[in-house]
Amino acid sequence: MKQQQTQQSPEENTLTEQAATWFLRIQQSDCSDADQKAFEVWLAASEANRAEYQQYTQLWQNLDQLERKPKQSPSKKAYLAITSVMMLMLMFGSLQWLSDYEQIHTTAVGDRHQITLADGTTIDMNTDTVIRVALWGYSRKVTLERGEASFKIGDERFRSFVVFSGNGTLRDIGTEFNVTKETDKTTVSVLEGAVEVTLDNQSQATKLLYGGQQLTYSNYDISSISPVNAEATVAWHKDRLIFRELPLDEVVQQINRYHVRPIRLGDQQLSQLKVSGEFNSTDRAGLVQALKTLLSLRSSEQNDVTVLHSAK
């Protein structure tokens, strides 16, 4: 009977029962990839779904801490007990967990830094990056003011993890992803799991990204979903830059993120020259020389800028 109950379609139940049904189904050893995918879609469907499921997860963890029998299966009676435990936890729970705080983290041009949150989440910050981290109550929120950061979410699942960048909101569904913010443009690349992307000023502009997918959005536009080059996306973790047929103006823009002294193109016609290869992001002189060799260019030093010119 219990097995049949866990296989019941969540759509036939109330929201509370849906959350309970999914909680039970995901715990089953025979939970399939299709079940996992359907669960992720259900989570992404609404904030109410996520909040209800997060509450159930926390309730069950709190119940475990009361040393209930390890092989005891959840039931409706157990859920009532869980609800009671939750009310007590809310009334007398840890003040440290309920307290709120916000921290600002920055990296200088050319630097990288890793942050580890109390929940086990790691945030790797790339060059010239500013983020604000706010943890309180049921929420974990990060605002990417500028730059680039990779997120690997910890095991804690009863608090939502949200990243704000520009006019977009990124909701994590148990995942690892990379976010780059350049002026008004943000690129989201998912390596594992799933991320829901929503534009704040367009209620219909919501897309769900799975591992191996990415998209870019600006103030009033969101791109189609495309495949992600995972190796190139996280190459900066090892001080590498990987370009595959990238226009020279975009290559120069990427290089300039890592160095105080910028590179400029002496002729806009050079902008569409294509660059492919793997480079050391910390070696500015080597980068300039590589571009000159690959594209038959010459360079000149003008005040605080290196200018690239056609060799002709």
Q: Encode pLDDT of 242-301 as tens digits.
A: 999 999 999 999 999 999 999 999 998 999 899 999 999 999 999 999 999 999 999 999
pLDDT at 291 (0 to 100): 96
Give every strand in the sheet of 297-302, ordered side by side: 263-265, 305-310, 297-302
* Amino acid identity for residue 4 in this structure: Q
Contact status, residue 82 vs residue 63, Cβ threshold 8 Å: yes
pLDDT band for 51, please (50, 70, 90 cuts).
confident
Domains of the chain and any CATH numbers: 2-93 (no CATH), 97-231 (2.60.120.1440), 239-310 (3.55.50.30)
Q: Are 180 and 196 in contact (CB under 8 A)?
A: no
* 95 pLDDT above the threshold of 50: no
Give the pLDDT confidence score for residue 82 in this predicted structure. Answer: 55
The pTM assigned to this predicted structure is 0.68
Can you count the helices (H) and strands (E) in the chain? Answer: 9, 19
Report the distance separating Cα 245 and Cα 227, nearest Å: 16
Q: Are the C-beta atoms of 270 and 310 separated by less than 8 Å?
A: yes
